[in-house]
Chain A
Amino acid sequence: ETGVTQTPRHLVMGMTNKKSLKCEQHLGHNAMYWYKQSAKKPLELMFVYNFKEQTENNSVPSRFSPECPNSSHLFLHLHTLQPEDSALYLCASSQEAGGTDTQYFGPGTRLTVL
């Protein structure tokens, strides 16, 4: 595997379910990101991890809980979501955190909340 991978690619869940999204990067990077992409809205940065430490949380509701056990893996735990949380969730990585390094994106997980 190369680049940034995400699983699952598609997920349908009810509002009372608990699920997790997984991201893995094979690029040797130190920073990882979660973005939300909704129709007709710019990409929204959710979380940033640098060397496994969370460095940014953009006022994301607590029903989204990130986890970064090491620099290669990033999870997004989901619980009691709302229908408006339906979106494409993109993971990215870069050599270092910050706005100057190129970010490499995974293919995303298409989430539908019923």
Chain B
Amino acid sequence: AQSVTQPDIHITVSEGASLELRCNYSYGATPYLFWYVQSPGQGLQLLLKYFSGDTLVQGIKGFEAEFKRSQSSFNLRKPSVHWSDAAEYFCAVGLNYGGSQGNLIFGKGTKLSVKP
């Protein structure tokens, strides 16, 4: 069955340090991959997405993610974390069954805390 795994429930990094959030997926076909961020009391905001082409994807707020088919991974990175990046991050895989069928499968999320 299709699934998304985010192995880290909670990560704490110091402001200015680099960040990598892990995401692994299980899906037989070519995946459509997304990273969303959720600030407290808010909905989800799209950070970036991968459909095809260059496996290194640039997103908003200085984030990037790399698609590695051999590892079934789509890890999110940022070279220097800001205090405002503290939030919960969700990886999702888009299932495409053709036409209007198919949905997003979300991971359980990784909560990021930032130390001053």
**Which chain A residues lie closer than 8 Å to B108 at the CB level?**
40-42
Q: Which of B43, B45, B90, B103 contacts A99 (CB 8 A)?
A: B103
Interface string of B93-105 (1 = CB under 8 A from A): 1111101111111
- Interface residues contributed by chain B, number (CB under 8 Å): 29
**A24 CB to nearest chain B CB (Å):** 13
Within 8 A of B (CB), among A15-62: 31, 40-43, 45, 48, 50, 55-56
Are B106 and A43 in contact (CB-based, < 8 A)? Answer: yes
Q: Which residues in A have their C-beta under 8 angstroms from that of B104?
A: 43, 45, 99, 103
Asked if A98 contacts B103 (CB within 8 A), the reply is: yes
> Which residues of chain B are near A105, meaning CB under 8 Å?
36, 43-45
Contact size range, A: 20 to 34
In the complex, chain B residues whose CB is within 8 Å of the CB of A75: none
Interface flags, A96-114, vs B, CB<8A=1, else 0: 1111111111111010000
Contact A48/B46 with A41-B108, A99-B94 known, Cβ cut-off 8 Å = no
Tell me whether B42 is interfacial, beta carbon within 8 Å: yes
Q: Are A99 and B46 in contact (CB under 8 A)?
A: no
Task: Chain A residues near B45: list those with CB within 8 A.
Answer: 105
Does B63 belong to the interface (CB within 8 Å)?
Answer: no
- Contact pick for B102, options A4, A43, A92, A100, CB 8 Å: A100
Cα distance A55–B97 in the bound complex, in angstroms: 13
B51 and A42: CB pair below 8 A? no
Closest B residue to A53 by beta carbon equals: B100
21 residue pairs A–B, Cβ–Cβ below 8 Å: A6-B43, A31-B100, A42-B106, A42-B109, A43-B90, A48-B103, A50-B100, A55-B101, A90-B44, A92-B44, A98-B94, A98-B100, A99-B103, A102-B34, A102-B49, A104-B46, A105-B36, A105-B43, A107-B42, A107-B43, A108-B42
Binding site for B on A (CB under 8 A): 4, 6, 31, 40-43, 45, 48, 50, 55-56, 90, 92, 96-108, 110
